[in-house]
Structure 1
Amino acid sequence: MPDPVDRLDIQVLVDNVTDSLSRTPPFVTREWNRLRQVGMKRLAGGSLCCANHGLSLVLTLHRGGRSRSFLFDGGPDPQAVERNGPRLGVDFGAIEAAMLSHGHWDHAGGIPAALAMIRAANGGRPVPLYLHPGMFRERGSRQPDGGVFPMDRVPDPVAWHAMGAAPVVTTQPLSLFDGTLFMSGEIPRRTPYERGLPGQVARATESDPWESDELLMDERFCAVHVRGRGLVVFSACSHAGIVNVLHAAREAFPDIPLFVAIGGFHLSGENEDVIPETVADLARFDLPLLIPAHCTGWRAVNALERAFGERVVPAAVGKLFTLEA
């Protein structure tokens, strides 16, 4: 069971959208206000963060007067991390470890830049980077004409080591930061409608045939227990299905109530037709807070807001969520 923290700060480093005008509850600091807190003197385009297709979160766990920071994914490319991080005042030297939630470019592409910035600030120490062994194959999407549109590959552990990481490659669940941060193993697939990423294929080498890879069994979630509130579940893309993710989290920690689900719920594109089933099943968890991001899609965000009202607070680049006991 994760040991509870007194406060959890979630800094959105990279997300698909920018939104500094919509009203937010008191525990959310919008991008422009966050930028002013860390030194922005004049509102101008060059002062702001950039949105990009991907997700990266900096988690800071506070407990008993000590803080620990963790990078959850890195977004799609170096430029987003290099632009947004300094503007948001991210203390890269405080980041002690990182995780790649699954093997897709829009979560992996910014990690090399983040590693360089972390090591430049921490005296050159290697950064533990948690990886799944199934994420290193080449992936692509099957096209209507039968061809395959390939994706950029995730670097292998040797390449990550050369970039300053200390790769930890495992399928097993792990506990970090004195038991306050939980990282899941593979997510069981239970619901009949959450079918992964339709049309995805993969191959080990260019001489191998493409094989179906729709389930993305390398995907994992992480979780933090906020004292007196419950479990905050981070699911970067929810290719396993956000309902399957929450079932796994509840089964792992049946004595801790679920408090927040945050991340990409991947209810866009071909998965838009499972929005009704997903919303209906999410209602059974009775979550106090849903923070959709990245690949959730506007139709799903609208459906979630209609169903759950003020409990839905969409993410955006630069937002800071502060969850306290």
Structure 2
Amino acid sequence: MSDILPVDQLEVLVLVDNVTDSLSANSPVAISEWSGLLTAGRLPLLSGRCTCCAHHGLSLLITVRVGNVAHTVLFDTGPEASTFLRNAEILGVDFAAIDSVVLSHGHWDHGGGLVVAIEKISKARNGQKVECFTHPGMFAERALQRPNGELLKFESVPDPDVLAQAGANVVNTRAPQFIAEGAFYLSGEIPRGTSYETGFPGHVRRSDDGQSWEPDPLIMDERFISVYVKDKGQIVFSACSHAGIVNVLTHARSVFPSVPLYGVMGGLHLSGATEKVIPETVADLQQFGLKLLAPGHCTGWRAMSALARVFGDELVPSAVGKRYTV
């Protein structure tokens, strides 16, 4: 790949996340939902009607500035349309300013609001097609096999034809991509190198015959986004880290070896059956010299506690409505 374009500033607005937290103290790089709404004059009354909803899922609005030019990418859309739309309205999202949409992987809690998001962006841009980046492996039916053998099926993400009808120009490929004139790097499939990051236990997908099910713990359709902030380094957005966050950061560093890693944001998937790898993960994260960790979504409270003990003020957990500026 060519060198990634350095940007002057990065801003991230959390549209959907598992938690809401406007009471905890924040790092200088972040402001909470309520503080941001008050500053913008968008909180006339402290009430449930005027504040965002948390929901199991993730959606990040990522904006970079290069000189006087801004580029915005919507990274995932949360679990369903109503939460996405409600929070976007409360937070004052300008849909016309969104250049592209990226679906990180084919799970309902990241793609449930995808169709309505594309419709809103296309309408705000006077019917213009919206670039939507997907991976061919995202569209298979998936499920979680429970210990008793029963399958808990997942809602499938919208297929490329449905996305196209909503107004998307679907870029459906396994290959890595540069987005917005090189300001965003969207990875290809993430190599798996560590011995302990073995994916999502019990995760299965429909076989090609459309009848049987097959193991799918690695979820190879997952990708990450990286942004290079000038004079700081790469900030990596990993929506669920089914590949393992150490594998994710190792790959990001290998793609752009001359650009140091600065931060990571998103779900680290260290909850549930993957809690057992928290010690190895936290230990190996220290090798990257990160200045900012903003975990959320599927990270889990046990992992968050372990990260807090090691990283201290570098840890700035994600929450719905929170805005980060780097």
Counterpart residue number, 2:52: 49
Counterpart residue number, 1:255: 258
Divergent runs of 4+, >4 A:
204-207
* 5+ long unaligned stretches in structure 1: none
Mapped partners of 1:317, 1:18: distance in 2: 5
From 92, 98, 101, the equivalent of 1:98 is 101
The C-alpha deviation readout for 1:35-86, integer Å capped at 9, x for no partner, is: 1233222211110000000000001110110111110000000011110001
Mapped partners of 1:221, 1:114: distance in 2: 20
Mapped partners of 2:161, 2:207: distance in 1: 16
Counterpart residue number, 2:291: 288
1:63 and 2:46 correspond:
no
Report if aligned partners of 1:35, 1:88 keep a CA contact under 8 Å in 2.
yes
The one-letter code sitting in structure 2 at the alignment partner of 1:315 is S
The one-letter code sitting in structure 1 at the alignment partner of 2:15 is L
* 5+ long unaligned stretches in structure 2: none
Counterpart residue number, 1:314: 317
1:272 and 2:275 correspond:
yes
Counterpart residue number, 2:22: 20
From 297, 301, 317, the equivalent of 1:298 is 301
How many residues are aligned here?
323
Counterpart residue number, 1:30: 32
**What's the CA shift for 1:268?**
0.1
The one-letter code sitting in structure 2 at the alignment partner of 1:10 is V
**What's the CA shift for 1:205?**
6.7
Q: Greater shift after overlay, 36-45 or 301-310?
A: 36-45
The one-letter code sitting in structure 2 at the alignment partner of 1:98 is V
Identity of aligned residues (%): 51
Mapped partners of 1:33, 1:115: distance in 2: 29
Mapped partners of 1:223, 1:73: distance in 2: 15
From 56, 65, 77, the equivalent of 2:80 is 77
Mapped partners of 1:242, 1:207: distance in 2: 32
The one-letter code sitting in structure 1 at the alignment partner of 2:253 is R
Report if aligned partners of 2:33, 2:322 keep a CA contact under 8 Å in 1.
yes
The one-letter code sitting in structure 2 at the alignment partner of 1:147 is E
**What's the CA shift for 1:16?**
0.2
Q: Greater shift after overlay, 154-163 or 246-255?
A: 154-163
**What's the CA shift for 1:147?**
2.0
Report if aligned partners of 1:10, 1:57 keep a CA contact under 8 Å in 2.
yes
Aligned-residue Cα RMSD (Å) equals 1.0
- Give the structure-1-normalised TM-score: 0.98
Counterpart residue number, 1:87: 90
- Residue correspondence of structure 1 range 129-208 to structure 2 within 5 A: 129-204=132-207, 207-208=210-211
**What's the CA shift for 1:207?**
4.2
The C-alpha deviation readout for 1:148-183, integer Å capped at 9, x for no partner, is: 111011121111111211110001111111111100
The one-letter code sitting in structure 2 at the alignment partner of 1:27 is V
- Give the structure-2-normalised TM-score: 0.97
Mapped partners of 1:205, 1:87: distance in 2: 42
